[in-house]
Amino acid sequence: MIDQESLDAIRDGVRGLCADYGDAYWRDIDAQRAFPEAFVNALTEAGWLAAMIPEEYDGSGLGLAEASAILEEVNRCGGNAGFVHGQMYNMFTLLRHGSEEQKKQYLPKIAAGELRLQAMAVTEPTTGTDTTKIKTNAVRRGDKYVINGQKVWISRVQHSDMMILLARTTPLDQVEKKSRGMSIFLVDLHAAIGNGLSVNPIGNMVNHETNELFFDDLEIPAENLIGEEGMGFKYILDGLNAERTLIAAECIGDGRWFVDRATAYANERRVFDRPIGQNQGVSFPIAESHIEVEAADLMRWRACEEYDAGKPAGASANMAKYLAAKASWEAANACLQTHGGFGFAHEYDIERKFRETRLYQVAPISTNLILSYVAEHLLGMPRSF
Ligand SMILES: Cc1cc2nc3c(=O)[nH]c(=O)nc-3n(C[C@H](O)[C@H](O)[C@H](O)COP(=O)(O)OP(=O)(O)OC[C@H]3O[C@@H](n4cnc5c(N)ncnc54)[C@H](O)[C@@H]3O)c2cc1C
């Protein structure tokens, strides 16, 4: 069992930092569609984003449980960990599959925040969730790989120094298994942009910096390949359980924020000479949200426990992400409804958090894909794709 008291110091520390970046800060960043540089720098300098980097590479060497408490607290305080979570988990591929030389070269700099590895490019416009059909390809030429293709929805590229890229190195019709023949590369964004890589921002519902990428004969050094050529898809999948659990934690933070705000407003707002929370039509959806967030939280801790013990965590991590994203979304709805018209006013921050938490039904994995994982891998029903 995870000792919750041991996580209290982490929660207190993150909460203390977040207190300097209150509602007005996030509202302003959202209105300007800006990147919260000051907050990201403060979180980095305090070392919170280096939680899961081992101590030998200058990180804190903490587990998934501690890391999840950090991101949960950011969202619980009204912020949006989506601006920073990539820095925490994109390095998993490097840590697990990179060479010792690559790890020594990059991980200490990532831990210190000197190097931002906030971006990971997997999704493509023509293939979507069907990742093994990606068309972006990398062809080896001497001591370089030449990249051609297109990616879409790639987040935080403009606020990263390096990016993890998944590209096909062996054409699909030449591999025994469709999951083979893809490789992972580290792309130095400063060197690449304007020299074979172009970046087009995508305007979207959330204040989330995300982009279309075009690769036109981009050359990258062959030494930027991570691990073995052809094994990239497996490497990406390896990092997903931790990523899904961390996203679940963010949703739990959001869910608690919505429940707190809704409860406070239901107690304070008087209509028909009584607090609106006295009406069960108002209080029940909030109570229901509380129950669902708490249930999702139990699954989150199960995923953390399994992952930190080195046990298979796929089932729990996927179910935690599913439950938490659903619970936070339903809590968002209940909170908005409780606030009536005021829920739509920017100054209450609910419409902002409502948009932010909605994303997690779709990205980094859509709800249907989790259901299909559970149906096939846990329940033994036929593979659907
Ligand atoms: C703001 C934002 C940021 C993102 N950041 C990144 C990033 O940094 N890097 C990155 O690589 N990607 C990123 N993504 C992409 C995200 O991971 C994908 O949008 C997501 O995985 C869904 O893929 P898709 O949009 O291509 O949907 P599609 O694959 O086109 O699917 C559309 C809908 O159909 C459903 N569907 C498709 N096939 C099936 C099936 N077989 N069974 C049941 N339902 C199915 C899906 O669940 C979905 O609801 C981001 C997306 C957004 C919106």
Distance 129 CA to ligand 1 centre (A): 5
pLDDT of residue 3: 82
Q: Which residue has the tokens 């919260």?
A: 36
Task: Give pLDDT tens digits for 121-143.
Answer: 999 999 999 999 999 999 999 99
**CA nearest to 225, candidates 185, 260, 195:** 185
pLDDT of residue 149: 98
Task: Tell me the average pLDDT across 241-263.
Answer: 98
Is the CATH code 2.40.110.10 the one for domain 119-229? yes
Q: Specify the CATH number of the domain 4-112.
A: 1.10.540.10
Pocket, ligand 1, Cβ cutoff 6 A: 120-123, 128-129, 153-155, 204, 208, 210, 359, 362-366, 368-369, 372, 384-385
Distance of CA 22 to the CA centre of its chain: 22
Candidates 89, 93, 129, 156: which one to mutate for ligand 1, based on the most atoms within 8 Å of Cβ? 129
Radius of gyration of the CA atoms of the chain, in A: 21
Task: Give pLDDT tens digits for 364-375.
Answer: 999 999 999 999
What are 20's two structure tokens? 């300097």
Secondary structure element (H or E) that encloses residue 191, with its range:
helix 189-192
Q: Is 11 a residue whose pLDDT tops 80?
A: yes
The β-bridge partners of 63 are none
Distance 361 CA to ligand 1 centre (A): 10
Question: Rounded to a whole number, what is the distance in angstroms from the first to the last CA of the chain?
Answer: 37
Task: Tell me the average pLDDT across 179-196.
Answer: 98
Neighbour count for residue 376 (Cβ, 10 Å)? 14
The confidence band for 296, taking pLDDT boundaries of 50, 70 and 90, is very high
Task: Map residue 165 onto helix, strand or coil.
Answer: strand
Q: Which CATH number fits domain 234-378: 3.40.50.2000, 1.20.140.10, 2.40.100.20, 1.10.8.640?
A: 1.20.140.10
Distance 34 CA to ligand 1 centre (A): 24
44's CB contacts (< 8 A; 6+ apart) are 50, 84, 87, 113
Task: Give pLDDT tens digits for 336-360.
Answer: 999 999 999 999 999 999 999 999 9
pLDDT of residue 17: 98
Ligand 1: which atom is nearest the Cα of residue 151?
11
Candidates 93, 120, 123: which one to mutate for ligand 1, based on the most atoms within 8 Å of Cβ? 123
State the Cα–Cα distance between residues 237 and 217, nearest whole angstrom: 27
Distance 178 CA to ligand 1 centre (A): 19
Of residues 2 and 218, which shows the higher confidence score?
218
Task: Give pLDDT tens digits for 72-98.
Answer: 999 999 999 999 999 999 999 999 999
Distance 340 CA to ligand 1 centre (A): 32
Distance of CA 246 to the CA centre of its chain: 7
Annotated domain spans of the chain: 4-112, 119-229, 234-378
Task: Map residue 305 onto helix, strand or coil.
Answer: helix
- CA 129, 130, 132 angle in degrees (round to 5)? 130
Q: Is 81 exposed, middle or buried (0-12, 13-18, 19+ CB in 10 A)?
A: buried
Q: Is 1 a residue whose pLDDT tops 80?
A: no
Per the CB < 8 A criterion, the answer to whether 294 and 252 are in contact is: no
pLDDT of residue 238: 87
Ligand 1: which atom is nearest the Cα of residue 202?
1
Distance 370 CA to ligand 1 centre (A): 12
Q: Is 59 a residue whose pLDDT tops 90?
A: yes
